[in-house]
Amino acid sequence: MSRGVAVETVEVYEDPLDLMDEIDALKRDRDVTILAHYYVDGEVQDVADFTGDSLKLARDATRVQTSTILFSGVHFMAETAKMLNPDKTVLLPDLLAGCSLAESCTAEALETRQDQLRAQGLDFQTVAYINTSAAVKSLCDWIVTSGNAREVIEDKVPSEKDILFVPDRHLGRYLQEVTGREMILWPGSCMVHEVFSLQDLNRARRNNPDAVVISHPECPRNILEVSDFIGGTEAMRREVVSVEAPTTFLVATEANMIHALEQSAPRHSFVPVPGIMASTGETCACNRCPHMALNTLAAVRDCLRDGTPEITWQPFFESAREVVTRSLLE
Ligand code: SF4
């Protein structure tokens, strides 16, 4: 009988400061601009030329002057950068950096649902949160972010039309409340925002009685109901900047957002709201997005050095770009 040999993978430690220097040099050498989402590690945000939420980064992507964009975020964000910059090379450090929310709504499933609703005689428009694949975007009438969703729904979706909102049911329910429009909701949710625990949030409030709770609208209703401020990541950042007196904020969104908040308003304290593990009911650090976490400094350096993985142009990017442009850029 042969005996298996266990092979241990040893990760070589690389000093973050050395990696940051390497990244700076490679960026200049390879003519690259780095865009980083607020949910990637703080040290990756620090080497980026632009940081922001999905809306800000989509707009920033149209202003890039270099021949290459490295998108430190997840797949649908890099696809958006590519569709807005067909002639540029767009790199993503790890093609496996997906999004549980985007994956809950495939193009095939959306087409089937749209056909069903049409067969029922419904006159509707499809509004998609930006956390969707380019293939899904190409099937939609409007793309929204948490930063502009209310405005798009109120100003652009004709009042006589029904609305199919995909894929985040929590954001969709919140938008129903703030716009007063009934919507058919897709049953998707974000694995990070879904797990915030009201019990732990209440405990954190008891420990910080003067704290202000700021939450992302992707959170479930019970979290939003006890929040003092609800908004996307860029709106959160603007909100804490606008508060003059040093304040403690309890933050219910991906924990790396705290880096961007600390950079923007260092006079405040920021406490992440803990999540709760669905399988065991235990408090966990699951308010970190595992997809965003694939954007390590080493992965960014390797991607710059090797010029891969690259987002390649797909035929449906053309129609997706039209929807993104009229929704977010006009
Ligand atoms: Fe997707 Fe949630 Fe991760 Fe954002 S935090 S990329 S919505 S899984």
Please tell me if the CB atom of residue 254 comes closer than 6 angstroms to any atom of ligand 1: yes
Rounded distance, CA 198 to CA 97, Å?
A: 28
Rounded distance, CA 191 to CA 202, Å?
A: 21
Q: For residue 246, is the peptide bond before it cis, meaning its omega torsion is within 30 degrees of 0? A: no
- Residue to mutate (ligand 1; options 192, 288, 295; most atoms within 8 A of CB): 192
Q: Which domains does the chain have, with CATH numbers?
A: 16-97+293-318 (3.40.50.10800), 102-189 (3.40.50.10800), 193-288 (3.40.50.10800)
Indicate the pTM of the whole model: 0.91
Closest C-alpha to ligand 1, atom 3: 289
pLDDT in tens, the chain (330 residues): 445 555 566 678 899 999 999 999 999 999 999 999 999 999 999 999 999 998 899 999 999 999 999 999 999 999 999 999 999 999 999 999 999 999 999 999 999 999 999 999 999 999 999 999 999 999 999 999 988 899 999 999 999 999 999 999 999 999 999 999 999 999 999 988 988 888 888 988 998 999 999 999 999 999 999 999 999 999 999 999 999 999 999 999 999 999 999 999 999 999 988 765 555 555 555 688 999 999 999 999 999 999 999 999 999 999 999 999 999 888
Rounded distance, CA 263 to CA 97, Å?
A: 25
Q: What share of the chain is helix, strand, coil (3-state, %, to 5)?
A: 40, 15, 40
The minimum-distance atom of ligand 1 relative to the CA of 218 is 7
Cα of 206 from ligand 1 centre, angstroms: 28
Cα of 245 from ligand 1 centre, angstroms: 31
Nearest by Cα to 146 from 187, 106, 174:
174
Closest C-alpha to ligand 1, atom 6: 99
